[in-house]
Structure 1
Amino acid sequence: SLSITLWSLAGMAHALARSVFGFGLARFILGIGEAANFPAAVKTVAEWFPKKERAYATGWFNAGSTAGAITAPLIVPLFALHLGWKWAFIITGALGFIWLFFWWLYYHKPELHPKLGKEEYRYIRQDGEDTSESTPWGRLLPLKSTIGLALTRFISDWVWWFFLFWLPKFLDDVYGITLSKIGLPLIVIYLVSSAGGIAGGWLSSRMIRSGNSLDAARKTVILICGFCALPVILAPASGGLWIAVALIALAASAHQAWAANMFSIISDVFPRNAVGSVTGLIGTAGAIGGALAATFVGYIREWTGSYMTIFIIAGSVYLLNWLIIKIFIPRIASIELN
């Protein structure tokens, strides 16, 4: 609730900015509010779903961020065009308070929910994790599981940001698709990626319900994601726009499917009282990797004169992710922190 309040106020504050510094300050505070989004979402899934269903639930909430990437560029410009740019910030910021109202009205922890039956509660708590006390960051940072998950985020998050921010320029440079015609290819890519995230979560959960171990289900899906991302290496030399779009869409869906399972591994391994902290820690690693890559992508493009090297790296990191998980988390299972 606090992060959404901060996010919404910061979003609306853009309309009040009178200088570059003021606008930058609003963006900075917006980022602080946004940072708590995924830790809170992953923790909520850990509270409300047993392990065998968490990846599927994570796939759905993660698809929401992709849906925003599709709808915002279509809707926000209409606000700016008809009401002015300030109202575009005010309206989108105010939407957070509408969401917050329903969150306060309907959300409860399972043990406090007035309409949750005993059988449903036992089903949610079937894994029996302890939630008695919080875990300090100092105890989480040195753990191999934390380091391994942080490494996967560090080397992978930039790929998603590359797909978000560099695709229009890539499609224009290589295939001559101007900004006025970029809408349909981007919509296809983001829709497919949303479906991929849900499918990746479903497959993992399905494997567990079918009798596979938690370890086998998560690592198998992550390995599949690695192979699905690999063909994107050919996107710069595919010879056709829609072939490139299909390859990028497949890689983007692999990323989202990987993310659904990676976030689920956090709640598989750590007790619920540590899930939010671990998600925040590895999210920081992902943000650092993304910030560094934002610079290096431009340099690599300038040095090599093509996008091929960038796509080779982007297509390869997900198999490396699988290897990192295998090394740092030999067996995905709950650990005891106390």
Structure 2
Amino acid sequence: MQKSVPHFRWYICGLLFFATTVNYVDRQVLGILKPALEHELGWNEANYGWIVFAFQAAYALMMPIAGRLIDWLGTRLGYALAVLLWSATSMCHAFAGSAWQFATARFALGIGEAANFPAAIKTVADWFPRRERALATGIFNSGTNVGAVVAPLLVPWIAARFGWRSSFLATGSLDLIWLAAWIMLFRTPRQHWLLSSRELAYIEGDGGAEPPRRIPYSQLLRQRGAWAFLFGKFLTDPVWWFYLFWLPGFLNQNYGLDLTHLGPPLIAVYVSADVGSIGGGWLASFFSNRGWPLTRARKTAMLICAFGVLPVIGVMWAGG
């Protein structure tokens, strides 16, 4: 008889963290290589802007569709197909030789990567009780920043030794390692042979593994919470995308940092974001475990994190 693994839900969270990490490594490669690619392929800022736009447009258009597909296909199959797609399209960047070819590859990458967060959030809802979901989400979401930290360490090293095309091939192949682990290890809580009956009861005792409910978009858009979330993302995402896609080029143009010297400042930014991601999830769980209502606990954690952003205003007066 197969022995259960204690706290197995956190191993599932680890898989989500790994997926989100490689997701962001793949999308970060282009930004890090931007100065070198502009020089080699003759891009200008307008060309690069369209390449970034292609990814963003595909990502935005596919996000609501991806959620439906994950519900329809199931998390295990849907997530696996999404990762297979973004792995293949990430490696296709290695064979691009013009701006429009890169834009095409980025568009396809955006289609695949859009499924990551719907699939991960659905997995958290299935595998964690309500009081632990903020922490689990914070942990897997910290993979965005870990991926952004790993990329400046890994990509310049590969590009300097094997060429920029090898950077796309190497990072895209990392997804296949995750894919094998996901197919072997992931099942729903009730189907999993490594989950103890005690842990299953703990998950389901607080609203875990709830049956899916289909909610029309018309009903969803009547919820104040949905609009609050949309407005919050509208304000914060442009800042994050700047750090992800434009910061390497900004540092190169304004401070003369080449490919081999971009790592330290980029890592400083993304490690700080990593601390905030995990810390924000932990803080919400901390308040909730002390009897605070979930809504109040989460809003308070977000407010504290929002105050932490204010010092970035000082960058306007920063020198070299």
TM-score, with structure 1 as normaliser: 0.64
Aligned to 2:191: 112
Aligned to 1:123: 202
* Residue aligned with 1:162, SS: helix
Match of residue 227, structure 2, among 147, 164, 172: 147
Tell whether 2:94 aligns with 1:15: yes
52 and 141 in structure 1: CA distance in 2 versus 1, 3 angstrom threshold: same
Q: Offset at 1:70?
A: 1.4
State which drifts further: 103-112 or 89-98.
89-98
Tell me how large the CA RMSD over aligned residues is: 2.4
Aligned to 1:70: 149
Whole-angstrom distance in 2 between the partners of 1:18 and 1:177: 25
Q: Offset at 1:126?
A: 2.3
- Residues 182-231 of structure 1: per-residue CA shift (max 9 Å, x gap): 43232222112211211111111011111111122111111112222223
Pairing of 1:35-74 with structure 2 (within 5 A)? 35-74=114-153
Unaligned runs of 5+ in 1: 242-338
Q: Offset at 1:132?
A: 4.3
Whole-angstrom distance in 2 between the partners of 1:17 and 1:172: 23
- Residues 278-300 of structure 1: per-residue CA shift (max 9 Å, x gap): xxxxxxxxxxxxxxxxxxxxxxx
Q: Offset at 1:118?
A: 2.1
Aligned to 2:238: 158
Aligned to 1:235: 315
Whole-angstrom distance in 1 between the partners of 2:98 and 2:269: 36
State the one-letter code of the partner of 2:163: G
Whole-angstrom distance in 2 between the partners of 1:109 and 1:182: 42
27 and 167 in structure 1: CA distance in 2 versus 1, 3 angstrom threshold: closer
132 and 55 in structure 1: CA distance in 2 versus 1, 3 angstrom threshold: closer
For the 8 Å contact 2:135–2:284, the answer to whether it is kept is: yes
State the one-letter code of the partner of 2:294: L
State the one-letter code of the partner of 1:159: V
Aligned to 2:181: 102
- Residues 45-83 of structure 1: per-residue CA shift (max 9 Å, x gap): 111111211111112111111111111122123333333
Tell whether 2:160 aligns with 1:81: yes
Aligned identity (percent) is 46
Match of residue 214, structure 2, among 118, 134, 139: 134
Whole-angstrom distance in 1 between the partners of 2:136 and 2:272: 17
Match of residue 91, structure 1, among 170, 173, 176: 170
Whole-angstrom distance in 2 between the partners of 1:198 and 1:79: 29
Whole-angstrom distance in 1 between the partners of 2:282 and 2:98: 47
Tell whether 2:87 aligns with 1:4: no
Whole-angstrom distance in 2 between the partners of 1:33 and 1:81: 28
Q: Offset at 1:96?
A: 1.0
State the one-letter code of the partner of 1:7: W
Tell whether 2:257 aligns with 1:178: yes
Q: Offset at 1:100?
A: 0.3
Tell whether 2:276 aligns with 1:191: no
Q: Offset at 1:86?
A: 2.8
State the one-letter code of the partner of 1:33: G
Question: What is the total number of aligned residue pairs between the two structures?
Answer: 239
- Residues 132-185 of structure 1: per-residue CA shift (max 9 Å, x gap): 4433434323322222211111111112123334445666788x5634644323
183 and 76 in structure 1: CA distance in 2 versus 1, 3 angstrom threshold: closer
TM-score, with structure 2 as normaliser: 0.67
Whole-angstrom distance in 2 between the partners of 1:24 and 1:132: 36
Whole-angstrom distance in 2 between the partners of 1:86 and 1:108: 36
Whole-angstrom distance in 2 between the partners of 1:167 and 1:115: 43
Aligned to 1:208: 288
* Residue aligned with 1:142, SS: coil
138 and 112 in structure 1: CA distance in 2 versus 1, 3 angstrom threshold: farther
* Residue aligned with 1:108, SS: coil
State the one-letter code of the partner of 1:184: P
Whole-angstrom distance in 2 between the partners of 1:123 and 1:163: 39
110 and 147 in structure 1: CA distance in 2 versus 1, 3 angstrom threshold: same
Q: Offset at 1:234?
A: 2.2
